[in-house]
Every structure is written in C-alpha cells, then in structure tokens.
Structure 1
Amino acid sequence: MDAVFRALADPTRRSLLDELFRQDGQTLSALEERLPMTRFGVMKHLKVLEEASLVVSKRRGREKLHFLNPVPIRLVHDRWVSKYAEPWAAGLSGLKRELEKTMEKVFEIYIKTTPERLWHAITDTEMRSKYTFGAIVTSDWAKGSRYEGRGHGNLIFEGENLEVDPPRRLVQNFRAVWGDDVKAEGTSRVTWEIVPIGDSCRLTVTHDQLREGANDQLYGGWPMILSGLKTLLESGEMLTTPGSLRWLEGDKAHLPEVT
C-alpha cells in the first residue's frame, strides 16, 4: 500500500494514470507525446507505477502496451474510503465506468498464497461464491467444457474453458446474460494467469475481445472481485462493501459460510 501512495504522490505520475484512464493500452511513444518531458523521464515514471502495480505492461508483437490497473486503487478504497465516504466513492466509480471503454482491460494483483491454493479459489464453487458477488460458478474445469455462473438460481454468465493449465493459466470465453443490454455484447474472453513470486503469487486477469465502447458492466466488477479474492485468501474474511454483498443481500439462503 505504501508503494501505491508514493507513486500517486507525484503529479506527473498522476498525469500518466489520467492518460491511461482516457485511453488504455498506450505505447511509450504515445504517452511521451502527451507529456512535456523526455522519453527517459516518462520511462522512469512508468517504472515507478509498474512497481506499485498501478500500471501493467504487455507485449503485442514489437510494441509494449501500458494498461491502467485499477485494482490497487480499489484496495485503497476498500481499506480507507468506503467506511468514510461510500456515496462519494460510488459517484467516482460511476465516472470511471463511463470513461473506461476499450477493447482490452488488464487487472493485476499480488496475493500471499500458493499457486495451488489460488487455483483452487478460482475453480472451487464454494470459494468462488465468496468473492464473486455470491455467484455460484460450476464446471468440471476441463478444456472445451462449459462453465456457468448463477445468482439466486438465475443464469447470469456462461462460457467455455478454452485453455486449462493448473495452477498457471485458465482461458475462457465469456457471455453475460443478466440483462438484455449485456446479452447484446456477445462473447468476450477472460484469461487468468498465475505466476509464483517468493511466498506470493501475481495474478493477472486480462479481459479482451471486447467491442469498442462495450458496456462497462462486463469488466467493471473485476477490481472488487480480485480485492475480495485477495482478502479471502489472506485473511479468511469476506469484503462487506455494498458491491460485494449485492447478490447475497437479495437471497440470504445463498449466503456462503466463511470457514
């Protein structure tokens, strides 16, 4: 958390985040054109932001693209903001969802756990319900098989498992069906990548193959989902923010028991 606050303390780095907020997936050259500084200066600031996990870079052919990672901001919100100013934060979240409409979104988080335990939390029905808004996610987790998520007994999303490589990589296509507006968006893709680092794991979730200007309901919940996953694995507790309890509050019979 300290690294996040240090990174945000500099106005130039905040400007870089603002640029990625407006248009995600930019190259170093594109960002350099938007700031009154040398290429080397932009590189130094991007390095600080990457070390704080506020920016994630990915190679696309010969290009290196930079993506805003809102997960650390979500963790700051959950730890400090929500209990003091939830209505104010909700307003900012609405603004964020309106602005973030791109073809690809990348989310990264570090969790103190093992790859095997993290994989279990992603694929186990009971564990998954505790941080995915109470959704009951079921599958046999074999390549080519179907998975589905239900809330209050109703189908809310579904797809196929395209790649299954435990405990390292899971690639799925994704279809949201909880409303006509998201049904119209069709199929996108979600990739979970687990990399062990010391006594922790880096989890990167890439949601791509999205229509330009796609409905932000498709990807707007990832920061809270990943924050809930981290909280559950590191403390055994569930987040109690309004979004985390959205599905659970509607049907207490689906409230999973925390162990």
Structure 2
Amino acid sequence: MASYRGDVEQVFRALGDPTRRSLLDALLQDDGQTLSALVSRHEMTRPAVAKHLAVLEEAGLVVAVRRGREKRHFLNVVPIREIHDRWVTKYTEAWAGGLTELRRDLERTMEKVFEIYIRTTPERLWEAITDPAIRAKYHFGAGVHSAWEPGSSFTMEHPNSDDPLVEGENLVVEPPRRLVQALRTLWSPQAEAQGTTRVTWEIEPVGDSCRLTVTHDQLGEDAPAELYGGWPMILSGLKTWLETGETLTTPGSQMYGPS
C-alpha cells in the first residue's frame, strides 16, 4: 500500500469515483466490513472491489485491520478532518455542518480506527504521546501523567479541572512502537457511566515518516460520541505540532476530552 502523507489531491482523486464513494457509503452504514461483505453489496467482481479499496487505503480514507483470519475495513475520518482544518474555517463555515453530519454517521460503530502519517521519528512521536506538556498542546489542554511501565496507572488532567478527566492502566508499554491503555473517562456522568474502554497506539516507521494507528474499542453499544469523536482533531493537532511546531485553533480546542 502506498503511503498516505496528507496528500489532499490524492484524497480528492479517490473521492472522484462514484464506485469508491459507494464503498465509503457502505462502510459509513456498517463500519468494519470484510472484502466479502462489501462484494456482496456491489455488482462487481472481488478483484474490482479490492482494487477500489486499495485506492481508498492509499488515500488514507480506509484502514484495513486484521481480526484473526479476517481483514476488516474501517472508515478513517482523519483526512476529512485535515481538509476541514485547512480550509473550512478559512473559506466557508457552511461546509462544517455537512462534516458534522458525516462524523455523526461515522460514530455508529463501537470500534473506531484512525490512521495518520506524520513526518517525524518513532522516538519523537512516542515522546509527544507520553509527555504531559506536549500532550496538552494538542489534546484540548489536558496532559497525561504516568510512570509508563506495564501495569502502571495513568491520569489525564486539565489545569482548569480539580479532578482527573481520565484515569486508567497501561496494559502494554513498548516504546517507541506500541501502547495499549485501559481507561475510564470521568469528565461527564454520561461518559463515566460507560466504564472501561481501551485505546491502542501503534507506531510504524515509513521512510522519513511514521504511520500512527489509534484504535479505540471495547465501547458499549450506547457509548456517547464524546468518548471517541474527537480523535480526528487530536491526531490532526498532533501532526501539526510535530511537523510545524504550531497548535491548531479549531472549534472545540478548549474542550476537556476527545469529543
């Protein structure tokens, strides 16, 4: 698969084909489908569907994840978030309503997978994820605190809050490649009522960049969108800070958690 590195033209080319848009619509309705399931929904051969999926993967709009013997395909909203951050607030807020509706549709499934390419090293990316001062620059002002050892606890705290916003346990700590965390979100009664969910950070070097994949799973069927809806903005902010040293000032940047 070719590396997606924020090439907006590549995203637009992928979206220009009606068949590929139809595949995205199918994933929007039921995320995490196998190739066989997608073939059954379209009057195309299996190789034809696979070819279109490959184009969508190259553009970063679809992420393929192995689940046992199956390969499932997930919509990745991060490129859309990047387009929003680059143009919407500059030219037309009218687009924002459509993107909000799209995000609402994408939040139907209880396992969310996000992928982004960042021009940096694995070590610097790991530091940006685990250092409280850096984390606060792109995670709505909240820093993360932990000893970063397997089985250690962690908290996320915002300077405007007297209590932790998130608390949990580090299940797997493998710097600078993999971090798996069980967490409880505490910033609202609705979020807290959902109990424990899991977030997995996976870093893979690709040339002079890194592919970062974030999977948020073990979400209940009634999990509110505030638990996981803000990952696209968080990851866009992480990419922007690592590549430019600047912080995003998009709507929601003052919020406490990923929503």
State TM-score, norm by structure 1: 0.91
Does residue 218 (structure 1) correspond to residue 234 (structure 2)? The answer is: no
Displacement of 1:127: 0.3
Q: Quick one: structure 1 residues 246 and 180, their matched pair in 2 at CA, closer, same or farther if it must change by over 3 Å?
A: closer
In 1, are the aligned partners of 2:200 and 2:214 still within 8 Å (CA)?
A: yes
**Long gaps (5+) in structure 2:** 1-7
Question: Which is worse superposed, 207-216 or 130-139?
Answer: 207-216
- The CA RMSD measured in Å over matched residues stands at 1.6
Task: Name 2:186's counterpart in structure 1.
Answer: 177
Displacement of 1:83: 2.1
Whole-Å Cα distance in 2 between the matches of residues 183 and 246 of structure 1? 16
Whole-Å Cα distance in 2 between the matches of residues 61 and 242 of structure 1? 39
Q: Percent identity?
A: 67
The C-alpha deviation readout for 1:106-157, integer Å capped at 9, x for no partner, is: 0000000000000000000000000000012211111111111122333211
Whole-Å Cα distance in 2 between the matches of residues 44 and 165 of structure 1? 34
Whole-Å Cα distance in 1 between the matches of residues 228 and 111 of structure 2? 9
Task: Name 2:137's counterpart in structure 1.
Answer: 130
SS state of the match for residue 65, structure 1? Answer: strand
In 2, are the aligned partners of 1:53 and 1:69 still within 8 Å (CA)?
A: yes
Does residue 20 (structure 1) correspond to residue 27 (structure 2)? The answer is: yes
Q: Quick one: structure 1 residues 77 and 11, their matched pair in 2 at CA, closer, same or farther if it must change by over 3 Å?
A: same
Structure 1: 4+ residue segments shifted above 3 A: none
Does residue 242 (structure 1) correspond to residue 246 (structure 2)? The answer is: no
Displacement of 1:102: 1.6
Q: Quick one: structure 1 residues 182 and 87, their matched pair in 2 at CA, closer, same or farther if it must change by over 3 Å?
A: farther
In 1, are the aligned partners of 2:131 and 2:143 still within 8 Å (CA)?
A: no
Whole-Å Cα distance in 2 between the matches of residues 112 and 76 of structure 1? 18
Q: Quick one: structure 1 residues 181 and 77, their matched pair in 2 at CA, closer, same or farther if it must change by over 3 Å?
A: same
**Long gaps (5+) in structure 1:** 248-259
Whole-Å Cα distance in 2 between the matches of residues 128 and 46 of structure 1? 33
In 2, are the aligned partners of 1:114 and 1:196 still within 8 Å (CA)?
A: yes
Whole-Å Cα distance in 2 between the matches of residues 75 and 168 of structure 1? 24
Whole-Å Cα distance in 1 between the matches of residues 54 and 140 of structure 2? 33
